[in-house]
Structure 1
Amino acid sequence: MSKAENLVTSIKVEIDAPTSLVWEVLTDFERYSEWNSFCPELKTSGKLGDMVYMQVRIPGTDQTIPVNEYLVAYEPELLLSWEQRPTDSNKDAARRDQYINALGAERSSYFTTDLFLGINADKIMKEHGAWVKQGFDQVARDLKQRAEALYAGRK
Structure 2
Amino acid sequence: MKHISSEVTVNAGPDEVWSVLADFERFHEWNPFLVEAEGRPEPGTRLMLRFRLPDTKKEMVFRPTVLTSEPGRLLRWRGRFGVPGIFDGLHSFELTPREGATHVVQSETFSGVLVPMTGSLVRQSETGFAQLTDALKKRVEEVTA
Q: What TM-score, normalized to structure 1?
A: 0.86
User: Tell me, what secondary structure is at the counterpart of 2:34?
Assistant: coil
The 5 A counterparts of 1:31-70 are 31-70=26-65
Q: Which amino acid aligns with 2:13?
A: P
Which structure has greater strand proportion? 2
Higher radius of gyration, 1 or 2: 1
In the aligned structure 2, how far is the partner of 1:115 from the partner of 1:59? 19
**Structure 2: unaligned runs, 5 residues or longer:** none
CA offset at residue 65 of structure 1?
1.1
Counterparts in 2 of 1:31 and 1:89: CA distance versus 1, 3 Å: same
Which structure has greater helix proportion? 1
Could you tell me which residue of structure 2 aligns to residue 80 of structure 1?
75
In the aligned structure 1, how far is the partner of 2:17 from the partner of 2:125? 21
In the aligned structure 2, how far is the partner of 1:94 from the partner of 1:51? 14
The 5 A counterparts of 1:1-155 are 3=1, 6-10=2-6, 12-85=7-80, 87-88=82-83, 91-104=86-99, 106-124=100-118, 126-152=119-145
In the aligned structure 2, how far is the partner of 1:70 from the partner of 1:33? 20
After superposition, what is the alpha-carbon deviation per residue over 1:34-87, rounded to whole angstroms, capped at 9, x for unaligned?
110111101113321121111100102433111111111101111111111464
Runs of 4 or more above 6 Å deviation: none
User: Tell me, what secondary structure is at the counterpart of 1:119?
Assistant: coil
**Structure 1: unaligned runs, 5 residues or longer:** none
Percent of pairs with identical residues: 25
Q: What TM-score, normalized to structure 2?
A: 0.92
